[in-house]
Amino acid sequence: MSRRMFAVRCIAWGAALGLVLGATGIARAQAPAAFIVVASTTSTEQSGLFKHLLPAFTKQTGIEVRVVALGTGQALDSARRGDADVVLVHDLPAEQKFIAEGFATRRHDVMYNDFVIVGPRADPARIAGLKDTPEALRRIRAAQAPFVSRGDRSGTHAAELRLWSEAGVDPAAGRGAWYRETGSGMGPALNTAAAMDAYLLADRGTWLNFRNRGALQVLVEGDRRLFNQYGVMLVDPARHPHVKREAGQAFVDWLLSADGQRTIAAYRIGGEQLFFPGSGS
């Protein structure tokens, strides 16, 4: 074989090898990164917490988190169907039921904030400054003042219904008149309340991130009944074998770790902290 022919063949082999390696590199670049699905609440998503929290987790672990933001009841139903690896919600009785049904083996407190009652500046029910939430609800009912409920089986909706029960009021009796159910997440419900100059129970995190406030302002806060605890659970792989146990547990462990708790605490709007570390067993 001539030297020229040998050189030509070497160039051809090199080009072919380059194409193979290039194709492999492209395939690797396009391969999906490890990811988990987290079923969570509209309050954690619409407060902006996940936009703050998840990049830090992904940077540290390489695991992408895809959030499905629903009301707590719907988030737990999604996990029951095996459509999530982890749930992060805020309705303790519903979470305990989820565990009792065998869909998770353990629940962890992860963070907390509080609920507030917001309403129009005119405050026709005269509830501003009250620290007794049931009394505030009784006054709203007596005044027949517009009240917007999420009506969506969310943790906020469940908390609202417990507070009406403690007040001795059946809000369903006023449905369609002064009591309006939106069947929506926290942000849309706040938009409705702002448009109607209505009262509403909101989580503080979403309220602080909400801009379309109109005449709404916080009227009732500081009652111990308004405490809002969030819990996190890995969906049990024994129930749904496709659950990503290791990656999902890595997310749970990171949230409970010192790094995760510091990241939660660092999320602020206008200098005000939205969520407070609350990890535990």
Is the separation of the CB atoms in 90 and 231 below 8 Å? Answer: yes
> Do 81 and 170 reside in the same domain of the chain?
no
Is the separation of the CB atoms in 155 and 41 below 8 Å? Answer: yes
Per-residue tens of pLDDT for the chain, all 281 residues: 444 443 434 444 444 434 433 433 333 333 344 899 999 999 999 999 999 999 999 999 999 999 999 999 999 999 999 999 999 999 999 999 999 999 999 999 999 999 999 999 999 999 999 999 999 999 999 999 999 999 999 999 999 999 999 999 999 998 889 999 999 999 999 999 999 999 999 999 999 999 999 999 999 999 999 999 999 999 999 999 999 999 999 999 999 999 999 999 999 999 999 999 986 54
> Do 202 and 236 reside in the same domain of the chain?
no
235 assigned to some structural domain? yes
In the block, tokens 């737990």 appear at 76
> Do 118 and 101 reside in the same domain of the chain?
no
- Of 183, 207, 226, the position where a domain reaches its end is 226
d(CA 235, CA 251): 12
d(CA 93, CA 97): 6
51 assigned to some structural domain? yes
4 assigned to some structural domain? no
Number of domains in the chain: 2
The reported pTM is 0.84
d(CA 68, CA 79): 11
CATH code, 239 = 3.40.190.10
Range of the domain at 69: 35-112+229-277
